[in-house]
């Protein structure tokens, strides 16, 4: 059969109903002039001209405005799909040059997402099931063509909704990626600001307090006979010492210099010792990594996740022991923090108000990793972070 193309639009002189957005829409009743929707472009794979004409007439009787190209060879089918993507593909199963299974595979490659309906003679149940599994939209017997119109209508509607959902999902994904990028940027800016403040607090305020302490020491030496004044100066000097200690602690909490100068492992050991001193919770640390100084953003991410974990333990766990393990397993850095507290519940893990947990997950996702939370009631919680290993770097010279 030669390649045949026809355009159909209505029958018996009546204005046809048309398919719009996957639904059958009747013409306007108020006589207002509106542009007709484009004809539905159909590629029909069929080697019987009477059957092709019957299929065409069935679709017209259903009220569809169509433009149909009929082919009966593999080459013609591929050429038609390559020339222009159709809105619908109808195919017989048994053909001289190839079969319906091959036609379906060609359609999946050249016209993905286009509804594909078999319009054929009787097929075995196993063949029908297999074709539907492979991606066919529907199966219509030539002896029951009355089902063809509704099947086409349903297939186009489902395709329309699927494409709209895909567009919405893609838009949502782009928004999520933009939000994640913005969150990462804000996190980076915050770390930079913390570093700057820590440096200014340590250098500027620390130096001013040190100078004040030296002045008080000089003044103390000059007051040889004034015991009350000497005691006052001594008390002021002690207060300055306490303030200097507080300034150093604040600067360290804002941005620990050990993280930049000695690496993540040393920072974790320091933070664990400080946590044990402040809370009285016994801590055990095991480090098993070949390198410990990595990219600054990577090290900061891991350290902040560790800090948040310890904060959650102090606030909620009611634990008396904590075990910390930092290890390299294959090409991943794995950090495990385990306590013997009350055990986090699944509800707490997924709760929308668990901002700390959400923040930990977002931080880890920035470098392509994951963090897992597992709790057993009255037996404790285990937090495991797994991230791809970065490249090692030499020590940085950031001021502490």
- DSSP for 124-150, please give it: -HHHHHHHHHHT--EEEEGGGGGGHHH
Q: What is the DSSP letter of 86?
A: -
Cβ pair 37, 18 in contact under 8 A: yes
From CA 367, how far away is CA 295, in angstroms rounded? 11
In degrees, rounded to 5, the angle at the alpha carbon of residue 356 between the alpha carbons of residues 350 and 359 is 90
Does the CA dihedral 63-65-71-75 come out positive or negative?
negative
Give every CB contact of residue 180 below 8 A, 6+ residues apart in sequence: 362, 365, 366
- What six digits make up the tokens of 244? 């200097």
Domains and CATH numbers, the chain: 4-164 (3.40.50.2300), 260-395 (3.30.565.10)
Q: Is the pLDDT of residue 145 over 70?
A: yes
Least confident of 129-133, 191-195, 204-208, 278-282: 191-195
Q: How confident is residue 91, by pLDDT bands cut at 50, 70 and 90?
A: very high
Q: Is the pLDDT of residue 286 over 90?
A: yes
Phi, psi angle pair for 375, to nearest 5°? -125, 145
Using DSSP, state whether 397 is helix, strand or coil. Answer: coil
Q: Is the pLDDT of residue 399 over 50?
A: no
pLDDT tens digits for range 43-88: 999 999 999 999 999 999 999 999 999 999 999 999 999 988 999 9
pLDDT tens digits for range 227-251: 788 888 888 888 888 888 788 778 7
Give every CB contact of residue 46 below 8 A, 6+ residues apart in sequence: 1, 52, 55, 70, 72, 90, 91, 92, 119
Other CB atoms closer than 10 Å to residue 9's CB: what's the count?
Answer: 14
Q: How confident is residue 177, by pLDDT bands cut at 50, 70 and 90?
A: confident
Polymer length in residues for the chain:
400
Using DSSP, state whether 390 is helix, strand or coil. Answer: coil
In DSSP terms, which residues pair with 26 in a beta bridge?
none
Other CB atoms closer than 10 Å to residue 162's CB: what's the count?
Answer: 13
Phi, psi angle pair for 224, to nearest 5°? -75, -35
Give every CB contact of residue 189 below 8 A, 6+ residues apart in sequence: none
Cβ pair 140, 119 in contact under 8 A: yes
- What six digits make up the tokens of 210? 């040190």
Cβ pair 131, 106 in contact under 8 A: no
Residue whose structure tokens are 């000089």: 218
Phi, psi angle pair for 52, to nearest 5°? -65, -45
Phi, psi angle pair for 62, to nearest 5°? -75, -15
DSSP-derived pairing of the beta strands 88-91 and 116-120: parallel
The mean pLDDT value for 138-143 works out to 90
From CA 331, how far away is CA 181, in angstroms rounded? 25
Which pLDDT does position 400 carry in this prediction?
A: 36
Phi, psi angle pair for 372, to nearest 5°? -120, 145
Give every CB contact of residue 157 below 8 A, 6+ residues apart in sequence: 21, 22, 23
Rg (the chain; Cα; Å)? 37
Using DSSP, state whether 292 is helix, strand or coil. Answer: coil
Mean pLDDT taken over the chain: 82
Q: Is the pLDDT of residue 180 over 60?
A: yes
Helix (H) or strand (E) holding 291: none
pLDDT tens digits for range 315-369: 999 999 999 999 999 889 999 999 999 999 999 888 867 888 888 998 898 888 9
Q: How confident is residue 19, by pLDDT bands cut at 50, 70 and 90?
A: very low
Longest distance between any two alpha carbons in the chain, whole Å: 126
The mean pLDDT value for 377-385 works out to 95
In degrees, rounded to 5, the angle at the alpha carbon of residue 324 between the alpha carbons of residues 322 and 328 is 165
Which pLDDT does position 16 carry in this prediction?
A: 36
């Amino acid at each position: 059969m030669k390649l045949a193309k026809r355009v159909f639009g209505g029958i018996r002189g009546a204005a046809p109903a048309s398919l719009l957005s996957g639904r059958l829409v009747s013409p306007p009743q108020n006589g207002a002039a509106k542009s007709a929707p484009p004809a539905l472009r159909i590629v029909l794979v069929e080697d019987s001209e009477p059957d092709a004409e019957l299929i065409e007439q069935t679709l017209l009787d259903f009220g569809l405005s169509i433009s149909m190209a009929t082919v009966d060879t593999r080459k013609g089918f591929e050429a038609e799909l390559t020339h222009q993507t159709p809105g619908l593909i109808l195919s017989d199963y048994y053909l001289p040059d190839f079969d319906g299974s091959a036609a379906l595979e060609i359609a999946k490659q050249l016209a993905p997402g286009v509804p594909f309906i078999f319009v054929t003679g009787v097929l075995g149940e196993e063949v029908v099931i297999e074709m539907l599994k492979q991606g066919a939209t529907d199966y219509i017997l030539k002896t029951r063509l009355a089902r063809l119109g509704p099947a086409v209508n349903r297939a186009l509607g489902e395709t329309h909704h699927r494409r709209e959902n895909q567009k919405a999902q893609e838009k949502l994904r782009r928004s999520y990626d933009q939000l994640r990028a913005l969150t990462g940027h804000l996190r980076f800016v915050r770390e930079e600001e913390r570093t700057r403040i820590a440096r200014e607090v340590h250098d500027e305020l620390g130096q001013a307090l040190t100078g004040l302490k030296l002045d008080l020491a000089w003044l103390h030496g000059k007051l040889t006979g004034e015991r009350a004044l000497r005691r006052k100066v001594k008390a002021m000097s002690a207060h300055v010492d306490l303030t200097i200690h507080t300034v150093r602690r604040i600067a360290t909490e804002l941005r620990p210099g050990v993280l930049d100068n000695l690496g993540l492992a040393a920072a974790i050991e320091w933070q664990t010792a400080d946590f044990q001193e402040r809370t009285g919770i016994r801590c055990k640390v095991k480090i098993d990594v070949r390198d410990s100084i990595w990219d600054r953003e990577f090290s900061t991410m891991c350290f902040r996740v560790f800090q948040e974990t310890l904060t959650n333990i102090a606030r909620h766990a009611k634990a008396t022991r904590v075990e910390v393990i930092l290890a390299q397993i294959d090409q991943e850095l794995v950090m495990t923090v385990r306590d013997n507290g009350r055990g986090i519940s699944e509800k707490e893990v997924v709760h929308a108000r668990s901002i700390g947990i959400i923040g930990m997950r977002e931080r880890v996702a920035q470098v392509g990793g994951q963090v897992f939370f597992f709790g057993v009631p009255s037996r404790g919680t285990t937090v495991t972070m797994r991230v791809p290993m970065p490249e090692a770097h030499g020590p940085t010279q950031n001021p502490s």
